[in-house]
Amino acid sequence: MSTWPGTYADTGVFVCFEGGEGSGKSTQSGILRDWLQEQGYAVLLTFEPGDTIVGRELRRIVLSPETGQLADRTETLLYAADKAEHVDTVVVPALGRGDVVITDRYVDSTLAYQGAGRSLLVEEVEHVARWATHDLRPHLTVVLDLDPRHGLSRFAGRDRIEGESVEFHERVRAAFVAMAQADPEHYLVLDARADIDEIAAQVRDRVGPLLAQAVRR
């Protein structure tokens, strides 16, 4: 699908959690962080959108229901700006120090939500998102796969994106799985309905061999 080659950091380890709303990304990224820290690894747990100063403003705009309708291109560019700032000021410096960087959402979320979810061409969204991130890829992306009806029911509140139709969220889910199937070396797809500890164990099995590139402090 993609004509972008992908760049992989040669120090540090870059792990990403992707999946729909309520699929367990924050739960699993926290469990992985704790496990790595117990073994003495330097870990940075971060997220998109919003984990920089300008990113907090961008997150408020894209997720607040008060924003109302945004043109699809505007939404895509706001997410891309968040990613550019996040990669340059947070992710790349931490990888350079040899940290394990765990991010809760990354480029695949924009390809799935703005590309597959909205009526934009995925190739165009991908161009913007790859450019914004220097085409830096995670060594491993864990896709927590879940029926959107199930995931959305894990919540009461709805933000701008969570409030989209089930069909929208079905397209998002299919996009995550398709990206994973196209590149099995860099992806792990897990059934998000499984037990939390069982999911965490499967994540550890895939992350373990990557840790040769990480530093212990």
**Site residues for ligand ATP per CB under 6 A:** 19, 21-27, 154, 192, 194, 196, 199
Smallest distance from ligand ATP to CB 7, Å: 26
The partner in contact with residue 37, picked from ligand ATP, Mg ion, none with C-beta cut-offs of 5 to 8 angstroms by kind, is none
What single-letter DSSP state applies at residue 215?
P
Angle at 31 between CA 30 and CA 36, to 5 degrees: 100
Residue 2 near Mg ion by CB under 5 A: no
Nearer to ligand ATP, 134 or 150 (CB): 150
Nearer to ligand ATP, 22 or 138 (CB): 22
CA proximity to 190, closest of 20, 13, 10:
20
Nearer to ligand ATP, 103 or 133 (CB): 103
Nearer to ligand ATP, 9 or 21 (CB): 21
Binders of Mg ion among residues 7 to 26 (CB under 5 A) are 25-26
Smallest distance from ligand ATP to CB 23, Å: 4
Nearer to ligand ATP, 80 or 190 (CB): 190
Cis peptide upstream of residue 49 (ω within 30 degrees of 0): yes
Smallest distance from ligand ATP to CB 83, Å: 17
Query: Residues 54-62: contacts with CB within 8 Å, 24+ apart?
Result: 54/81, 54/82, 54/85, 55/82, 55/85, 55/86, 58/82, 62/160, 62/161
Whether 79 and 62 have beta carbons less than 8 Å apart is answered as: yes
The partner in contact with residue 154, picked from ligand ATP, Mg ion, none with C-beta cut-offs of 5 to 8 angstroms by kind, is ligand ATP
CA proximity to 168, closest of 107, 120, 104:
120
Which chain residues interact with Mg ion by CB under 5 A? 25-26
